[in-house]
Amino acid sequence: MAASAADVRSILAIPEPPVAGSSQPTKKPQGSERAKKPDGIPRELYALIGPHAPTLAAQFTKPRLKQKPNLGAGGRVKWEWRPFKNGARSDGLRLSHWAKAGTDTESEYQFAKYNVQGTPYVYTQDEYTRLLEDSSWTKEETDYLFNLVREYDGRFFVVHDRYEYPNGPRRSLEDLKERYFGVCRKLIRNRPWIGDEAGKKAVLDSLTFDKDREVARKNYVASLEHRTPEQIAEEDALYLELEKLKENERRFKKDRDELLRTLCGIESGLPDIHADEDGLAGAAFETKRKKKGVVGSVEPQTPVTPSANTVISLPQPQPKKTSAKSAAYDALHCIVRTEVDQTSSSTKAAHVPVHLRSYKVAQPKAALAPRVSQLLGELGISHTRLVMPTRDNLAKFAALIDAAQQLVEIKKAVDKHDQDIQTTKARLAALRGETVEEGDAPETPMDVDDGAADADGEGDGRAQSVMSTRSARSRRQGRRSMSVSSVDTAGGPNKRQKQR
């Protein structure tokens, strides 16, 4: 019924073990490996265990965790209980302790060396009368103080605690320290000093004690300690407030720097301007580089008028004189030499890396982009992609974009001015009660294109009548601005018509 070992083997597809005869020699070495009977087991019991339960037998063997460290050339160290002489004691008390047997019985006690005494300052009667007289201290009390300081090894807190000079005045800790250090300083100053001056100065420095300062400090500490919880809370609140203000200031400064950096670039004078090689810098860089790289090099003789929004215009690089021969060569091989700007060549920001021309297609400004693209769309030009980005094409395209931008900007300005005129008119009408009936116009914002013309005429005349009290100059200015706007608006529809 019970499965034999052979069955198990056949089930598990384990190869048949060697026959009994051949198994003997393999078992032998196993037996010899743990041939030694472990301690603590009777021989008979060990024989019963036989070779079949090695794990059980292992439990009886002593656990061997680690090789025992061999301390001091092996061998047992003998210790003996023996009396010793303590050098730090003045009497002959001999206590006993355990010591190594071989060692010197009368060697100096190991801990005696820690019995160090500070050098006490002592003075003679003569020195006292000559140097140390003090109206508030008697010699007896000074002696008492010095004894206490010696007794408690200069622990002034303890000295002060134990200070009970009979019939003496109440002394504060500072009084005691001042007297003690004062006496010591005087003694050192007036005694011949063995050693160098620096050493003497160091000792004197170690003995300085400024009583007034210490008292002031203690008073300050006491006042700190006696704060009410409200005061502490208020102090904390103030501190938090201060931190907030500081943080605000930091943020403000950071923002300002950021703004300066984007607006002025290197000219801002900020130290940590980082320059990017691959056109990822701010918008200001982009435009500058574009102008220099595309516009400046392509048409150096006829520079495109810088658009109104570019605040800073770098000096245009002067074209180098090229020899006729090389010019001819360049023309033949279509080589265009861009000029390197000598003034700002040292900074990274001015550096224009090598690029494909098509990568540098002029882009309208982000703010104007929708309007410009709408405009170009009306013209039937795709501004996102140039089929043939030759140099001339690019230049023309850039000029076109520029023109479109200018157009859009001027249009915007016209709209704004018209709006201003309308609102001013409305205000004017409101101020002049009699012209309320005409006030229907300013309430609704007029369409710029057609409304501008009649508004112009009316506004002009009315403004003149209104501003009769004003100076002629301001009136002229006003009129001029009007005329400009009227001209521009006149140009607007014209263009539109053309477009149509």
Partner 1 sequence: MQSTSTKPNYGGDEVAALVLDFGSSSLRAGYAGDDTPKAIIPTSFGYLEEEAASNGDVSMGDASAPEGEQLQAPKPKAKLYIGQNGPSLWRRGMHVANPMNDGLIQNFDTVPPLINHALSEVMRCNAAEHPVLVTEAAWNTTANRERMAEIMFEEFQVPAFYIANTGVLNAFAAGKGSALVIDIGQSTASVTPVVDGFVLRKGLQHCALPQLVHAHARHLLTSPSSNRPGIQLLPHQLIASKMPVDVGVPPRFTLREDRIAGTTDSWRAWAEAHEVDEWIQSVGGCLVQGWNEQFAQQQGPRHYEFPTGYNNYFTGLERFAVGEQFFTHSTQLQASNPNLPKTIPALIMSSIGQTDLDLRQVLLGNVVLTGGGSLFAGFADRLATEMSRQFPHVKIHAPGNPTERRYGGWLGGSILASLGTFHQLWISKEEWQEHGKAIVSQRCK
Q: Under the rule (CB under 8 A), what is the footprint of partner 1?
A: 72, 86, 88-89, 91-93, 95-98, 109-112, 114-115, 151-152, 155, 157-158, 160-162, 173, 218, 221-222, 225
Q: Which is nearer to partner 1, 236 or 249 (CB)?
A: 236
Report in angstroms how near the CB of residue 70 gets to partner 1 at its nearest: 14
Both tokens assigned to 203? 């000792």
Output the CA–CA distances (angstroms, integers) from residue 233 to 219, 220, 226, 228, in the order listed: 21, 19, 13, 9
Least Å distance, CB 96 to partner 1, is 6
Angstrom distance (rounded) from CA 243 to CA 245: 5
Please, what's the largest Cα pairwise distance for the chain?
139
Q: How many CB atoms lie within 10 A of CB 404?
A: 21
Q: How far is the CB of 231 from partner 1 (least distance, A)?
A: 13
User: With respect to partner 1, which residue has the nearer C-beta, 82 or 256?
Assistant: 82
- Which run of H or of E encompasses 473? helix 472-499
How far apart are CB 169 and partner 1 at their closest, in Å?
17
CB of 104 to partner 1, least distance (A): 11
145, 193, 202, 210, 451 from 199: Cα distances, Å: 26, 9, 5, 21, 99
Phi, psi (rounded to 5 degrees) for 82: -145, 150
Our CB check for partner 1 shows the closer of 130 and 217 to be 217
458-to-127, 129, 493 alpha-carbon distances in Å: 112, 112, 20
Residue 362: exposure state from Cβ atoms within 10 A (0-12, 13-18, ≥19): buried
Single-letter amino acid code for the residue at 133: E
227, 235 contact by CB (below 8 A): yes
114 vs 359 by CB, closer to partner 1: 114
Taking only Cα atoms into account, the Rg of the chain, rounded to an integer number of angstroms, comes to 52
Reduced to 3 states (helix: H, G, I; strand: E, B; else coil), residue 94 is strand
Nearer Cβ to partner 1, position 95 or 340?
95
Distance, CA of 284 to CA of 273 (rounded, Å):
13
Rounded to a whole number of angstroms, the minimum distance from the CB of residue 136 to partner 1 is 21
The least CB distance from residue 76 to partner 1, in Å, is: 15
Report in angstroms how near the CB of residue 56 gets to partner 1 at its nearest. Answer: 39
Q: With respect to partner 1, which residue has the nearer C-beta, 46 or 111?
A: 111
Cβ proximity to partner 1: between 110 and 474 the closer is 110
Nearer of residues 160 and 432 to partner 1, judged by Cβ? 160
Tokens 């002031």: give the residue: 216
Q: Provide, rounded to whole angstroms, the least separation between the CB of residue 186 and partner 1.
A: 26
Nearer of residues 72 and 169 to partner 1, judged by Cβ: 72
